[in-house]
Structure 1
Amino acid sequence: MSTTTTTASLRERLIGAWKLVSYVEQPVDGSAPFYPFGETPQGIIMYTPDGFMSAQLCHAQRTPFASGDWFKGTPEEYEAEASSYIAYTGPFHVDEELQSLTHSMFISLFPNWKGQTQPRVVKIEGDYLYLGTASPIQSQGKTVNSALKWKRASAA
């Protein structure tokens, strides 16, 4: 499906898989922006035709557990694992008139998000999807706005 079709609805244009290009957090206090997962993060976000979405984002360089067993990590390994990965999934909703998008978190690695519905700032330009938080969130001890750039994934 071409993402340049202007007659397609926002919902139709979202459907599919997108690869993460960049993830930047801008503190509302005006201090320097930062990259929570480095300047080359990895991630996929998918929107299905039946109304579900799933997002997985991480730092590109993650250290494997020494034990090789995900239930036998050290406290430091678990801390590094959880602080270098974001994952959530659930229904998504589009308001075509307002051109708005929300993500409802049915499951989330960050337990505080479970059950939340979060509005997103959304824009699609060609093969790029731009998502942002609609209101500031807490990250690394600061109040920030998040900006994520995604590129439509192609079948390999």
Structure 2
Amino acid sequence: MKKYMSVLTISAMFATLPLAHAAAEPMSTLAGTWQLTAADTLYRDGHRVHGFGDNPQGRMMVDSQGRYAIEIYRVETTNFVSGNKATGTPTELRDAMLRNSVHYGQVVLDPVHHKIVFDVERAVYPNWEGKRQVRDYTLTGDRLSYQVPASATGDGTIAISEWQRIHD
């Protein structure tokens, strides 16, 4: 009986791993530092707005093992009047939370299905931690774009992030 449980345990472990290596793109494809060029929101009626303001700032860094860190910020903000984040007003705290998207973990490309998969380890928004985010992507040379599906945003919009690789 113990033998069978081991086989079942091993099978279950494989089911939870990231995409199969055969379908995954080598991480050298994404490895490097990327600068955010757009963080937009696409509405159901087709109009597109800047989801993080007119001049969003951000970086994505991916190492050769697929470990990543992403930081996206809306530049326009107001400082906390108290000068102490522990005593911020509800409005200041809400603005601070909504002005960024920050997370890190593992990333894999699935070029067969045109999916980029983020396995989030830690995030400013705690609901993402330990979750898998699957996005449609396009990668053309040093330009990467991916879209958060409407079902994940919860409001019917599609979030679009666009990146440009930075060369030394």
Which TM-score band applies after superposition, normalised by the shorter structure? 0.7 to 0.9
Partner of 1:80: 95
Q: Which has the higher contact order (CA 8 A, sep 6+)?
A: 1
Contact 1:25–1:145 (CA<8 Å) still a contact in 2? yes
Other structure's SS at 1:79 match? helix
Give the letter aligned to residue 40 of structure 2.
Answer: V
Q: Which has the larger radius of gyration?
A: 2
String of CA shifts for 1:87-111, please: whole Å, max 9, x gaps.
1111112335445320011111112
Contact 1:21–1:149 (CA<8 Å) still a contact in 2? yes
Contact 2:27–2:66 (CA<8 Å) still a contact in 1? no
Partner of 1:105: 120
Partner of 2:165: 152
1:122 to 133, 137, 140: 137
Contact 1:57–1:85 (CA<8 Å) still a contact in 2? yes
1:49 equivalent to 2:76? Answer no
Q: Which runs of 5 or more residues in structure 2 are unaligned?
A: 1-24
Q: TM-score, normalised by structure 2?
A: 0.75
Deviation at 1:112, TM superposition (A): 1.9
**Alpha-carbon distance between aligned partners in 1 of 2:48 and 2:36, rounded to the nearest angstrom:** 18
Contact 2:153–2:159 (CA<8 Å) still a contact in 1? no
1:20 equivalent to 2:30? Answer no
RMSD: 2.0
Contact 1:43–1:56 (CA<8 Å) still a contact in 2? yes
Give the letter aligned to residue 77 of structure 1.
Answer: E
Partner of 2:152: 137
Q: Which runs of 5 or more residues in structure 1 are unaligned?
A: 1-8
**Alpha-carbon distance between aligned partners in 1 of 2:55 and 2:128, rounded to the nearest angstrom:** 25
Contact 1:10–1:99 (CA<8 Å) still a contact in 2? no
Contact 1:120–1:132 (CA<8 Å) still a contact in 2? yes
Q: TM-score, normalised by structure 1?
A: 0.80
Give aligned-pair identity as a percent. 22
Other structure's SS at 1:106 match? strand
Deviation at 1:73, TM superposition (A): 1.6
